[in-house]
């Protein structure tokens, strides 16, 4: 019997698991997975603070891992699932790596580059446009971020500057 | 006697040297350096083909190296010199890493995100805006790219698909 096809919600739940790992490390909780032919080939979560790298976003790390695994920068048969709407940098990386389908959980009104601060589908000169679907497991993808920042606000000011919501 | 202050052209000439290294590896010739307190703290060039990573642009690699050197993602006392106008991904990384001044050599009408396909200064919601100056050593920064693609067009088609100008 053929294996039952996995749903988008299934893959997003794996991205959410990654976001939980980030949260447990006191990183802004965003997670991502890359899927090819139904198989998860890369998983990653935000590691900005641990790595002290501004570009260590979940999507960037997942794309890097996927390319390492496949031995090519061109991920045109791959889909990316990420819990939060990608920022400008990550949207650019998604275009450059030719990701086929982008699925994301919740919007980022402050930094999202898909529907918010810019709308990549309106930039006609980009040489690749992924298919895009948002709102996959929107509630839990949003709630994990809300809870994280609620908790941060309770903590002493000393730590707060490290977790500016705008950065994710 | 105090050391003579270096000019922007001097730092861009180092970025150009990086671009030449890329060219010699058959990579699209773009180079970048990061400068802090007058010292070059990171140098990098495009390595997309060698690394098989879509995000191995000169700017991204230079920012990563600078953060590794300084031990922080926050490069707000650093200036970035890059031979070509940054793409959307690199513009995003420049914003996220809080680069203070961005100097670039030549425009990229097909993918440049500073003045061309998008104009980052018009995106008011970005939480950081670097100072930007373009046209530093414009001629040699442009010429190295023109010569590279002219050479590519002479070579057999087989190789051409690996060097789509739009990607840089």
A8-24 and A138-154 helices cross at what angle (nearest 10)? 10
pLDDT of residue B104: 98
Which tens digits make up the pLDDT trace of A134-156? 999 999 999 999 999 999 998 76
User: The whole model's pTM is what?
Assistant: 0.91
A88-96 and A58-70 helices cross at what angle (nearest 10)? 20
Largest CA distance in chain B: 57
Neighbours of B107 (CB within 10 A): 17
CA–CA separation, B40 and B66 (whole Å):
9
* Alpha carbon distances (Å) from B23 to A40, A155, B145: 35, 50, 9
With residue A131 as reference, give the H or E element that holds it: strand A131-134
Q: Which residue bears the tokens 């294996």? A: A3
Choice among A102-106, A129-133, A154-158 with the minimum mean pLDDT: A154-158
Share of chain A above pLDDT 90, in %: 86
Chain B residues near residue A56 by CB distance under 8 angstroms: 73
> Is the CB of residue B74 less than 8 Å away from at least one CB of chain A?
yes
Q: Tell me the shortest Cα–Cα distance from A117 to chain B, in angstroms.
A: 7
Residue B97 and residue A166: Cβ atoms within 8 Å?
A: no
Strands A131-134 and A101-106, bridge-based pairing: parallel
Residue B73 and residue A93: Cβ atoms within 8 Å?
A: no
Give the DSSP letter of residue B120: G
Q: Which of A96, A127, A164 to mutate to test the interface with B (most CBs of B within 10 A)?
A: A96
Asked whether the beta carbons of A84 and A63 are under 8 A apart, the reply is no
Hey, CA dihedral for A141, A64, B84, B94, is it positive or negative? positive
A113 pLDDT band (50/70/90 cuts)? Answer: very high
In order, the DSSP letters of B32-60 are: EEEEETTEEEEEEE--HHHHT-TT--HHH
Give the DSSP letter of residue A162: G
pLDDT of residue A58: 98
**Residue B36 C-alpha from the chain's centroid:** 16
> Is the CB of residue A164 less than 8 Å away from at least one CB of chain B?
yes
Nearest CB to B92 within list A56, A64, A92: A92
pLDDT of residue B5: 82
- The two structure tokens encoding residue B73: 């993602």
Residue B123 and residue A117: Cβ atoms within 8 Å?
A: yes
pLDDT above 80: residue A162? no
Give the DSSP letter of residue A14: H
> Is the CB of residue A65 less than 8 Å away from at least one CB of chain B?
no
What's the mean pLDDT in A18-35?
A: 98
CA–CA separation, B82 and B125 (whole Å):
25
- pLDDT by position in tens, chain B (length 168): 455 789 999 999 999 999 999 999 999 999 999 999 999 999 999 999 999 999 999 999 999 999 999 999 999 999 999 999 999 999 999 999 999 999 999 999 999 999 999 999 999 999 899 999 999 999 999 999 999 999 999 876 655 455 444 444
pLDDT of residue B155: 78
CA–CA separation, A158 and B53 (whole Å):
37
**Residue B88 C-alpha from the chain's centroid:** 12
ipTM given for this complex: 0.90
pLDDT of residue B158: 53
Q: Which residue bears the tokens 């790595």? A: A51
Q: Tell me the shortest Cα–Cα distance from B52 to chain A, in angstroms.
A: 5
pLDDT above 80: residue A84? yes
Q: Which of A3, A5, A18, A59 is catalytic?
A: A59
A3 pLDDT band (50/70/90 cuts)? Answer: low
Q: What is the dihedral of CA B138, A91, B43, A56, to 10 degrees?
A: 160
């Amino acid at each position: 019997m053929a294996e039952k096809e996995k749903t988008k919600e299934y893959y997003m739940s794996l991205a959410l698991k990654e976001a939980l790992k980030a949260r447990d490390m006191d990183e802004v909780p965003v997670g991502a997975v890359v899927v090819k032919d139904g198989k998860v080939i890369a998983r990653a979560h935000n590691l900005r603070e641990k790595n002290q790298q501004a570009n260590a976003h979940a999507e960037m790390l997942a794309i890097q891992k996927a390319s390492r695994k496949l031995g090519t920068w061109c991920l045109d048969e791959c889909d990316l699932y990420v819990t939060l709407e990608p920022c400008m940098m990550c949207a650019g990386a998604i275009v450059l790596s030719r990701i086929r389908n982008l699925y994301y959980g919740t919007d980022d009104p402050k930094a999202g580059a898909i529907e918010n601060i810019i709308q990549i589908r309106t930039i006609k000169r980009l040489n690749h446009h992924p298919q895009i679907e948002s709102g996959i497991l929107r509630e839990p993808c949003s709630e994990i971020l809300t809870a994280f920042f609620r908790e941060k606000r309770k903590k002493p000011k000393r730590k707060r500057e490290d977790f500016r919501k705008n950065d994710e």
